[in-house]
Structure formats: structure tokens, C-alpha cells
Amino acid sequence: MSDLTVLADVARYGLVLVLLYLAYVDFQTFRLPDAITYRLIAGGLLFNMVLDIRFCSPQDAFFGAVFGFGFLWLLNKAYRLLKGRDGMGMGDAKLLAGLGAWLGWQALPAIVLMASLSGLLGGLVWLYWKKQDRSQAFPFGPFLAFAGIIYILWPQPLRLPL
């Protein structure tokens, strides 16, 4: 095994640990700390722009960060226009931007699809377990984080045709 392969594996599993931590924090507090999400974005951009090993091209990393944040920001803005309140926190948008910065914009459709489907099922279980109605909030960050982890560990079967 070459040094570059080992370094890529260290980065991959380090990223998984950060995502597990973010999922845990969001599950407990309904917050994704800016101190970590901003570093996740910057780390992904630097990793893909500076190092010889990378998970995607620098351009794909940049657009991944922009599209990841922008998609959830626009979705929240539309929800706010319809309902008069936020539908999700911007920590989720920063987390998706971080995943886009590490994995590229091409990973975002699969991650959002997995997170949305698992979030739908998980949200129903969450609301039933907490004995709350549908209008109550539940954390979406853990579903984004776990979808990102699945994509990091098993990317090939999850690629969507673009």
C-alpha cells in the first residue's frame, strides 16, 4: 500500500469521525457548531486543492460547497415564504456544503436523496418516540451526516446518473 493510499484512508476515516460527532451533537442539541462546520468546509476545499491526493477536482470541491449550501438555503427560503418560519437551520446547509467541499458537487444528489428518505422515516419514528405531532422539529443533520458516511465508505453503488 502506498503512502498516498494510506493518507487518503486517514482522511476518509477522519472525515467519518467528524461526521459521527456532528450527528451526535445535532441529535442531542439540534445544533451543528459553526466552529466545526466551517472547518469542515475549509478542510475539504484545502484537501482537494492543495494535496496530491484528492477526492474530487478543486473546481468540483468549490461548486460542491456552493451548491450544497445554496440548495438548502434556497429550500429554507422557499419554506419561509410559504409558512412564515424557517424549515431547517443553516447548520444543515453548512454541513452539506462541507460534504460538497470534500466529495464534490456530483455526490450531492445521492447524499440529499439518502438523507431525505432516511430523514422521512427517521422523522416519523422520532415524532412517534417523542410523542409529538408533525409540526414539531427533529434534527436533519444526523441524516445528512450518515448519508455522507455511506457515500464516503461505499461511493460506487450510490452514484446517480447526472
What does the longest C-alpha to C-alpha distance in the chain come to? Answer: 55
The predicted pLDDT at position 128 comes to: 81
Say yes or no to pLDDT of 157 above 60. no
The predicted pLDDT at position 110 comes to: 93
For CA atoms 63, 67, 68, 73, the dihedral sign is positive
Residue 20, C-beta contacts closer than 8 angstroms, at least 6 positions apart: 145, 149
The predicted pLDDT at position 161 comes to: 55
Q: Determine the structural domain holding residue 121 and report its residue range.
A: 3-158
Query: For the segment 92-144, what is each residue's pLDDT rounded down to a tens digit?
Result: 999 999 999 999 999 999 999 999 999 999 888 877 877 776 667 788 999 99
Q: For residue 103, how many other CB atoms are within 10 A of its CB? A: 25
How many independent structural domains does the chain possess?
1
Query: For the segment 28-72, what is each residue's pLDDT rounded down to a tens digit?
Result: 999 999 999 999 999 999 999 998 889 999 999 999 999 999 999
The predicted pLDDT at position 112 comes to: 97
At residue 2 the predicted structure's pLDDT band, cuts being 50, 70 and 90, is confident
Say yes or no to pLDDT of 162 above 90. no
